[in-house]
Amino acid sequence: MELNRVYVSDLLADWKKFQQTQLLFPFYTSHSQARTAFLAAVKCGKGYWVQCNTHWLLVTKNDQADSWEISNLLISTDFGWQKAFLLLETAARQKFKRSLRLIFEANLILRQWLTAQGYQLKAGVWQKDLVYHTGLVLGGGGARGAYQIGVWKALLEKEITFEVVVGTSVGGLNGALIVQGDYEQALTLWQEIETNKVLDITFKEVEELDFSAQVDQLRTFIRTSLQQRGISSKPLRRLLEERLDPTKLQTGCPFYVVTTKVPAFQEVVVAINQCSKAEIIDWLLASASFFPMMAMTKITDEFYVDGGYRNNLPVDVALQKPITELIVVDVHGPGLDKRYRLSAEVAELKLATPWSLGDLFLFQSDRSAENIELGYLETKRALGELQGYRYFFNRQADFETLTKDFLRYLKTEIPVDLNGLYPELKKFFRRSVPVEMLSLAFLEFFAYWVKVSPARVFEPSEFIETILQQFELPNRLNPNFSVQEQIEDFIENHNVFSDYYRVLQLYQRQGNLKSFYRRWPIPTLLALFFRYIRAEEVTADF
């Protein structure tokens, strides 16, 4: 649940429902006038919506620094107005806005209600300054944890602070760095990290860590862990002793890690602030001891293993505290993710990348740097500062114009029912794609298949040029990619039934594609779109 920009095609897909929406507050004199005004705002890029189950909350807003200025609110007829208003505030807190500003004239009863909700009338505008009590949850995931440091960088830029931090495994180690408050220390650690600096294992020196070298390292890793009943984490202990300040951890914000006691296989939640200085690193290691690959941690005659076995994403621990916002960073580690339910008053910002973050146990500084950048950019996008589905573009990047130009070109090739295109796009991409942003979804489709790295912000014309260049190159993976990623890539690239191969076959066909459109509508449009962007005048003008 979050506030997203709405497009005309979104409303047309359920026009009857839009026509039944009603004013939440007296921004206009009638419901029909408000709907007309909202439609105009949508065309200007100022219309947004929140979809909550079957309900709609439609919002016209202007972003002003760290506030939202609201000039229209419409809700579904079956949506309670108080719940809808709470949803608006939750959406603002999800983006960490400082205040909400509502522009309308209120009668006496509404004035009293707004005042009771914390709004003040200032120069004809009802304003509420939002108060934050934020919790941070960091999941386990081994070497993938570098992503969480990138998330932290983006949160620091927004000056977001935490009233509680909870982590499991690598999330606990990163949580310690965050509570300590030294970003540069954390960045340096992850930029320099290698597997032999975390675990007591020696790999054969190789000039380039290609596929065969990675397979060899994994074999060594597994063989050593089986022989030793878990590889010693003494190098990690030394690393933590060098980088962590126990005094800062004791005096920082409340900080909890999750570990698992064996043989009872019992979840143990440890309040790091309340531990003695001598115990702090023991408990951090206990949370991250992924047995049998890593040795168990012994603390006062008890043995502990990775907290992910019982609670890899410990949201439930954070929810025991009086928080109003929750930032959850999931790096897809193995283990048990407990189900949880948020109250309507808690705003959740969940960050879980659709991209692979690499192997769990092979720490590589280059891959860590890429994952840090990915975490940073995905957080910026989640906070509304960038756009894109899988890739990243400035908010000013204009994909609507490119889409309009392509649709004009399309009329000369095949007849397309734009009203029927919306559900077909949703079915193909497995998410809602407004027709106006068709060009963005199509470009990202090709970029993914020709392996354009996502870890940067693109200009649209630069993105097109990169796609076309890589389309002509041999299909090679980044050498930092893991063994699993390379195996999956091999299978994917040799699957003649994949979407990409179907699009490629259509693209390479001579002549008109009209006969294929009815059977494969979106692959056919993708093939025509690729023909379009390869035209010399298109790349030159865009």
- Distance, CA of 53 to CA of 17 (rounded, Å): 14
Q: Which residues contact 513 (CB under 8 A, 6 or more apart)?
A: 413, 414, 506, 524, 527, 528
Catalytic annotation present for 169: yes
Strand spans (E) along 98-212: 99-102, 120-122, 125-129, 134-138, 164-168
Please tell me what DSSP assigns to residue 302: E
What is the SS3 assignment for 141-167?
Answer: CHHHHHHHHHHHHHHHHCCCCCCEEEE
Classify residue 411 as exposed, middle or buried by CB count within 10 Å of its CB (0-12, 13-18, 19+).
Answer: exposed
- Distance, CA of 349 to CA of 325 (rounded, Å): 8
Catalytic annotation present for 210: no
Classify residue 259 as exposed, middle or buried by CB count within 10 Å of its CB (0-12, 13-18, 19+).
Answer: buried
C-alpha dihedral sign at 488, 503, 522, 353 = positive
* Of 146, 138, 185, 140, residue with least CA distance to 162: 138
CB atoms within 10 A of CB 243: 16
Please tell me what DSSP assigns to residue 258: E
Question: Which is the catalytic residue, given 169, 225, 233, 287?
Answer: 169
Classify residue 304 as exposed, middle or buried by CB count within 10 Å of its CB (0-12, 13-18, 19+).
Answer: buried
Token code pair at residue 94: 């999800």
Token code pair at residue 368: 């860590």
Q: Which residues contact 126 (CB under 8 A, 6 or more apart)?
A: 101, 102, 103, 104, 106, 114, 119, 120
Question: Which is the catalytic residue, given 10, 306, 330, 359?
Answer: 306
* Of 55, 88, 83, residue with least CA distance to 70: 88
CB atoms within 10 A of CB 521: 19
CB 351 within 8 A of CB 330: yes
Residue type at 474 in one-letter notation: P
Q: Provide the annotated active-site residues.
A: 169, 306
